[in-house]
Chains A and B, each alone.
Chain A
Amino acid sequence: MSLASILVPVPGRSDAPRQVVTPPPAMTKDAPRTAKMVIESLTAYYGSHAVLRNVSLPVVERTVTAVIGPSGCGKSTMVRCLNRMHEIIPGTSVSGRVLLDGLDVYGRHLDPIELRRRVGMVFQKPNPFPTMSVRDNVLAGWSLTGTKPPNADDVVENALRRAALWDEVKDRLKAPGGSLSGGQAQRLCIARALAVQPDVLLMDEPCSALDPIATARIEELIHELASTVTIVIVTHNMQQAARVSEFTAFLYMGDLVEFGDTAGIFTRPSDPRTEDYITGRFG
């Protein structure tokens, strides 16, 4: 499937807020889907070395998009370009555009601080703040930036419930953030990201440090969250991509080899490299 068949740019006004994606035939149930984010000709550099070249793809609203590919192919770099975390590493740069609701996140309309509140992130290794309690970890997105949620208790409970952690920690909200198990800590990080009500959640191999049971819980959670937030998940576990995502992007050595609906990619890959990868011939 080629990108052209999915991306239908809104004609005319360049500041048009949305772009329409014609869904692949397999999932035409509920009519046109909007692209929450659009990546256009994105090239990302470390120094002068381009590790991501000319990548374009839409991120469809309230679905899960998986980014797969062998280690070092640029998956993390790509998602970090979506919330401008790439640029905090010295010497990095990007070209191309990334649109959030039609606005260029690298443009003047959106500052990175505001962007990162709307596009949250969960990292490979659970990284709760050890000096904060569980509760304060959930509220960290507010307290760190010197703001106060309208009702902190509700925010905490709501975020922890959405992260499927409430029942396990409701009696020890004051316990240190570092006292949870790996899987719980990762769900705490998800709750922390959700507490500031992001539209998009980026997850960079969120299960790679977890055991199978914790992984299954997070996958289940991703399913539930997809009805309210747009999720981009990096994984090099293809079964995971197949289980949780609706769309899949396959990156190989910095190039976007293939993008399309997950079922199609896994059953009828159009590029031989994709086929080699998903059949385990390399990576």
Chain B
Amino acid sequence: MPSRPKSSRVDTAFHATLVLAGLGVATVLAGVAWEVLSLSGEALSKGGIGFLTGTTWDPVTEEFGALPALYGTLLTSAVALVIAVPLGIGSAVFLSEIATSRVATVVGVLVDLLAAIPSVIYGLWGLFVLAPLLREHVQPAVQAVFGDFPLFAGTPLGVGYGTAGLLLAIMVIPVITSVSREVLRAVPETQREAATALGATRFEVIRGTVLPYARRGLVGAVVLGLGRALGETMAVTMVIGNRYDISASLFAPGYTLAAVIANEFSEAFSPHYLSALAGLAVVLLGTTLILNAGARLLVRGVATGGARKNGDRHRFSRKSVSVPISVPSSDPGKEAPDGRP
């Protein structure tokens, strides 16, 4: 048999398999969204916008408002990112740019192990180690310094938004580190050499060349971390305090969307209650999608709009962290676009 038809048949089969796999993913996604949406239909149509803005969650009177849980999800994720982004990207820079290859390998394996620890273990550690530590030592000390500052007000309980955010940060750091490290490693050596040959120090090479080159990938790493923080259920449920309330204090107990769903799903007997929980799932899904899209727009904005905005501003002071100003036509993972012949 001539080889050509055979190879083209193999090609077709391969192609078809890939298309099927792609369609499969899309179908599952659409299926999940549809299921959750239809299940939540009753609660959403009855509550309307009130479902999103309501602050009461009462299964007895069947009054359901998602705001406190949404607030908890956003606040804990924000706390987590504020801590995890600098530390995660910082350790990635260390691993890829500064550490010797042996140190980088050992630490890299440890980081990957951390990323793989099941979240219930983080939760147990958070409940039995982190929460008492915060309650007895850290929170009183912070209050001694800041006094009645609302962000740190209230009785130190050990559990609450702050504890959950901190625990989430610890869980998210390995994710951000691990992805960012790969992103930074993909920055071509020729970029570092170009900057070094111009007389830049190692720090200046990283700040002015490596990080701008890698910025899209780094945002991707942060988005992955954010995804984990938003959806994390088990560990958060164990340390957030599970009180359906909104408080400005990081020391106050609260709730998150995922934690409410996990805690109450098994007790939701009335169809309306079940529907309200599905409504929370819709809110969580929507939040994730919106934040994801927002992050993408942000990168694009930084990449294009920044060029005009920063074009005429002088960019020579040591302070101004080098601004990424224009879109490279390639992915960060690829070599710098080298020219057409």
Contact = CB atoms under 8 A, between A and B. Distances in A.
B269 to A, nearest CB: 57
A117 B199 contact: yes
A193 B328 CA distance: 21
A174 B322 contact: no
B338 A182 contact: yes
Q: How large is the interface on B (under 10, 10 to 19, 20 to 34, 35 or more residues)?
A: 35 or more
A192 B200 CA distance: 13
B209 A129 contact: yes
User: Which of B191, B194, B195, B330 has the most chain A CB within a 10 Å cutoff?
Assistant: B194
A193 B6 CA distance: 54
Given A90-B100, A114-B199, A144 B328 contact: no
Nearest to A120: B197
Nearest to B202: A88
B198 interface: yes
B322 to A, nearest CB: 7
Contacts, number: 143
Interface string B308-341: 1001001111100010111111100000111111
B314 A152 contact: yes
Interface in A162-203: 174-186, 189, 192-193, 196
A179 B341 CA distance: 13
A260 interface: no
Nearest to A88: B196
A3 interface: no
A176 B339 contact: no
Nearest to B209: A129
Contacts of B59: none
A174 B313 CA distance: 13
A148 interface: yes
B213 A129 contact: yes
Contacts of B328: 130-131, 176, 178
B136 to A, nearest CB: 45
A207 interface: no
Interface residues of A, number: 52
B190 A146 contact: no
Nearest to A179: B329
A83 interface: yes
A174 B307 contact: yes
A133 interface: yes
Given A90-B100, A131-B215, A178-B330, A144 B200 contact: yes
Interface of A: 83, 85, 88, 90, 113-114, 116-117, 120-121, 123, 125-133, 136, 140-148, 152, 174-186, 189, 192-193, 196, 209-211, 214
24 contacts: A90-B100, A114-B199, A123-B190, A127-B188, A127-B190, A127-B191, A127-B194, A127-B336, A129-B213, A130-B337, A131-B328, A133-B307, A133-B326, A140-B194, A140-B198, A144-B200, A144-B209, A147-B316, A174-B308, A176-B307, A181-B340, A182-B340, A186-B339, A211-B341
Given A90-B100, A130-B337, A131-B328, 10 more contacts: A114-B199, A126-B339, A128-B336, A130-B329, A133-B307, A144-B200, A145-B199, A148-B317, A174-B308, A210-B341
